[in-house]
Structure 1
Amino acid sequence: MKTNLIPSIILTTGLVVLLCVAYPLMMWGIAKFSPNQGEGFIVEAANGKNYVNVGQSFTQDDYFWSRPSAVDYNAAGSGGSNKATTNAEYLDEVEQRIADFLVKNPTVDKHDIPVDIITASGSGLDPHISVDAARVQIARIAEHTGIPLAQLEQLVEQQTQQPLWGLFGPEKIKVIELNIALDALKK
């Protein structure tokens, strides 16, 4: 018994120290060297109002829409739907999102709708959309705001974030920052 018990206690103690003390301290230290020192990102609007940089619900016709959320944009309950792409209920939900999008964006062809504007992210809180998802909404926003198409296209280009180090990931746009910049154009 002693031959198993003592190594088990040593291994358990070592893993507790490693995983409950050393690893969290290491992650905290790395976060302190990241932008905003690991405190998360706050987006500040020109009117002084602050927004948390997680997915927000934008469904008004005069704003760029964000990705759908399986958790209704609730950061306390982050998660996806966990439904397979072959699940009938999930497919009905996506088809309804496509239909809703096409009603509000009649100039867009069904096959031109980017997947990220009709499907939720894994966390349900993704603050980004693809550049294509922003571009397909420009005609609707121009119609509802009176802002010229060229000016909206330029806004999308200005708000486009390049991949990390120019290599990793796609170009993307933070919807909250894009809509704050859009509010500034409306004035």
Structure 2
Amino acid sequence: MKTHVLPAIKMTILTFVLFAILYPLVVWGFEQLSPNHGNGFLIENNGKSYYENIGQQFTENQYFWSRPSAVDYNAAGSGASNKSGSNPEYIKEVEDRITHFMSQNPTVKREQIPTEIVTASGSGLDPHLSVKALEIQVPRIAKLRNIEETELLRLIENHIESPLLGFLGPEKVHVLGFNIALDKMAGKKGVEDVK
């Protein structure tokens, strides 16, 4: 019995020290070397804090809408719907989003709608949209806010984030940061339609 019990106890103690003490310390050490010390990046606006890397929902027409979320923008339950593209429920959901988008953006034709404006991302928390997904919303925002379309297009251009390392991925715009800048440009107090 000693030949099995003692090695098992030693192995238990060793794995405990490695994975419950040393590993967390190493991860914590790397965290302290990272920007913002592993606390995430926050956007402060109107007395509220938002995590920069978590998408926010915008429902009012005076804001640029963000990407839909399969998890209702809940970071604790990050994930996709896991429904296939041929699933009738999923197809109806996307069709409903297309219909709603077109009803609020009557100048947009169905074939002009970028995929990400009517489909959720894999995480359900994507805070970015493509430049095209913002540009097709410009006529609606310009009309509701009484702002020239050229001004909105210039604002979009000023908020474009380049691809990672200059070539990995598309150009994109951070929707929350952009809507905050939109409010500032329009002289409004601040984003109030964020859930």
TM-score norm. by structure 2 comes to 0.83
Whole-angstrom distance in 2 between the partners of 1:154 and 1:2: 76
Counterpart position of 1:128: 128
Counterpart position of 2:190: none
Classify the secondary structure of the residue corresponding to 1:143. Answer: helix
Classify the secondary structure of the residue corresponding to 1:95. Answer: helix
Counterpart position of 2:165: 165
Classify the secondary structure of the residue corresponding to 2:161. Answer: coil
Counterpart position of 2:81: 81
Letter in 2 for 1:138: V
Whole-angstrom distance in 1 between the partners of 2:4 and 2:169: 48
For residues 167 and 77 of structure 1, do their structure 2 counterparts lie closer, same or farther at Cα, with a shift above 3 Å needed? same
Query: Residue deviations 1:20-63, cap 9 Å, x none?
Result: 44443333333323322210111023x44432332111021110
Whole-angstrom distance in 1 between the partners of 2:36 and 2:71: 26
Whole-angstrom distance in 1 between the partners of 2:84 and 2:145: 38
Whole-angstrom distance in 2 between the partners of 1:168 and 1:18: 36
Whole-angstrom distance in 1 between the partners of 2:132 and 2:6: 60
Query: Residue deviations 1:154-180, cap 9 Å, x none?
Result: 111111111222133322211110110
Counterpart position of 1:92: 92
For residues 8 and 137 of structure 1, do their structure 2 counterparts lie closer, same or farther at Cα, with a shift above 3 Å needed? farther
Letter in 1 for 2:114: P
Query: Residue deviations 1:53-94, cap 9 Å, x none?
Result: 321110211101011111111222222111111211111101
Classify the secondary structure of the residue corresponding to 1:173. Answer: strand
- Listed as ranges, the matches of 1:1-187 within 5 Å are 16-45=16-45, 47-53=46-52, 54-187=54-187
Whole-angstrom distance in 1 between the partners of 2:42 and 2:79: 21
Work out the number of aligned pairs and report it. 186
Question: Percentage identity across aligned positions?
Answer: 53
Letter in 2 for 1:99: T
Whole-angstrom distance in 2 between the partners of 1:33 and 1:170: 29
Whole-angstrom distance in 1 between the partners of 2:32 and 2:76: 23
Which sits farther off after the overlay, 117-126 or 28-37?
28-37
Letter in 2 for 1:139: P
Whole-angstrom distance in 1 between the partners of 2:165 and 2:68: 28
**C-alpha RMSD over aligned residues:** 2.2
TM-score norm. by structure 1 comes to 0.86
For residues 12 and 120 of structure 1, do their structure 2 counterparts lie closer, same or farther at Cα, with a shift above 3 Å needed? farther
Query: Residue deviations 1:95-147, cap 9 Å, x none?
Result: 11111111111111211111111111122122111111111111111111111
Structure 2, gaps ≥5 residues long: 188-195
For residues 26 and 114 of structure 1, do their structure 2 counterparts lie closer, same or farther at Cα, with a shift above 3 Å needed? farther
For residues 12 and 167 of structure 1, do their structure 2 counterparts lie closer, same or farther at Cα, with a shift above 3 Å needed? farther
